[in-house]
Amino acid sequence: MRVGIIGGGFGLRVQYPIIQTHPHMDVVSVCTMSRHCLHETLQQGINHYKDWKKMIDNEQLQILFVSTIALHHYSIVKYAIQKGIHIVCEKPFMMNQEQSLEIVNMAKQYDVKVVVDFEWRYFPIRQRAKELLDKQKIGDILHIEHHISSARYETLTNEALGWMGKKEKFGGMLGALGTHMIDNVRWMTSQEITYVQGMLHTHIQNGGGERRDADDAFFIHGLINYHISFSLQLLSGIHHEFDSMLKVFGTKGTLVIENDQRILLGESTQAFEELNLELSPVPYHLSPEQKAYYPALYALIDKTYIYITTDRVDRDLPTAVDGHFNQQILEQLLYKSNL
């Protein structure tokens, strides 16, 4: 399957080497901005473009990975759909829900598969958690709490963020990680968010010679299907971090995921028990960053390949419809619009 990538950051640094491990996919072209130089290992047999339209027009692509900033997603995805090219799009999916709804409808009209890169769903530890929840190991879900803290005070104070510090370009932590966290509460419960409120805040407004208005912290709470409550929180402008802690409270027990490394199950009033995970091997040649993404991202890539070639969609594969629901929640938090 002929693959193209648009985006010189995450797309080349992480997605490219993982895509290349798939036996039926081959990256044949990439499009980056002029400041991005191709690594020498990419220069053999791969066409490099600086104009994404020219790449789409000139290359006979079967699937396109759109890994630019969200500001460009709509125009690229719309153009690719009209060319009949299947898509894996980064998140945030679009800039607003009008755009995301149009993409959902266009994908149906042109019979194009559009997948959104909510790869967290496929981390083995989250797959195990989903299996336990579906089997009612903790009964009916009462509340989900997911809090993340990341010690980035020095970075935010001393280094420029560029577009990541600009709200109008969908920079900030809500777009970077909040999108995943919102998607995960929908996915884990298999139900829709029916009420949401939140606060976005910028603790470090000046740093690296720039003024910022995109959030470096957020605090979100709401309801799923009117009865399951949830709380999502992220802090990044701090000196000490406590990583990621996800807790699911149920009528028959509690499930805890610590930093996506350990999963603990507490049934009824019993003590927590750490559960074992069976992990597939990771290609040795990948970098530490690529190895961290590999289990989830490779699974999403493989499920996407099956979806395109057989028209069978895996129950966990996030499509444009999931991207649209996510967009509605983001818009509610950003602009207080109606769900």
User: Mean pLDDT in the chain?
Assistant: 94
pLDDT of residue 33: 73
Q: How many CB atoms are located within 10 Å of the residue 60 CB? A: 9
CA 154/CA 168 separation, integer angstroms:
24
CB 64 within 8 A of CB 74: no
Per cent of the chain over pLDDT 90 is 91
pLDDT band at 39; cut points 50, 70, 90: low
Backbone angles phi, psi at 70, to 5 degrees: -60, -25
CA 12/CA 147 separation, integer angstroms:
29
Q: Using CB atoms within 10 A of its CB, is residue 149 exposed (0-12), middle (13-18) or buried (19+)?
A: middle
CA 268/CA 189 separation, integer angstroms:
20
pLDDT of residue 71: 94
Considering only residues 277 and 156, tell me which one the structure prediction assigns the higher pLDDT. 156
CA 54/CA 165 separation, integer angstroms:
30
What domains does the chain contain, in order, with CATH numbers? 2-117 (3.40.50.720), 120-277 (3.30.360.10)
Q: How many CB atoms are located within 10 Å of the residue 176 CB? A: 17
pLDDT band at 191; cut points 50, 70, 90: very high
Q: What digits encode the pLDDT tens for the residues 2-25? A: 999 999 889 999 999 999 999 999
The residue ranges of DSSP E strands in the chain, in sequence order, are 2-6, 26-31, 47-49, 63-66, 86-89, 114-116, 141-149, 193-201, 206-207, 210-211, 217-224, 228-235, 243-250, 253-258, 262-267, 273-274
Residues with Cβ within 8 Å of 296's Cβ and at least 6 positions away in sequence, in order, are 119, 120, 121, 122, 123, 124
For 28-56, what is the mean pLDDT?
A: 79
For 108-118, what is the mean pLDDT?
A: 98
CB 237 within 8 A of CB 217: yes
Cα–Cα distances (Å) from 154 to 150, 235, 237, 257, in that order, read 11, 14, 8, 28
Lowest model confidence (mean pLDDT) among 28-37, 102-111, 255-264: 28-37
pTM of the model: 0.94
pLDDT of residue 306: 98
End-to-end CA distance of the chain: 38
CB 6 within 8 A of CB 68: yes
- Alpha carbons within 13 angstroms on the beta-carbon side of residue 135 total 9
pLDDT band at 337; cut points 50, 70, 90: very low
CA 90/CA 323 separation, integer angstroms:
10
pLDDT of residue 339: 43
- Is residue 40 pLDDT above 90, yes or no? no
CA 133/CA 82 separation, integer angstroms:
39
- Is residue 36 pLDDT above 90, yes or no? no
Considering only residues 243 and 118, tell me which one the structure prediction assigns the higher pLDDT. 118
Q: What digits encode the pLDDT tens for the residues 167-181? A: 999 999 999 999 999
Q: What digits encode the pLDDT tens for the residues 197-224? A: 999 999 999 999 999 999 999 999 999 9
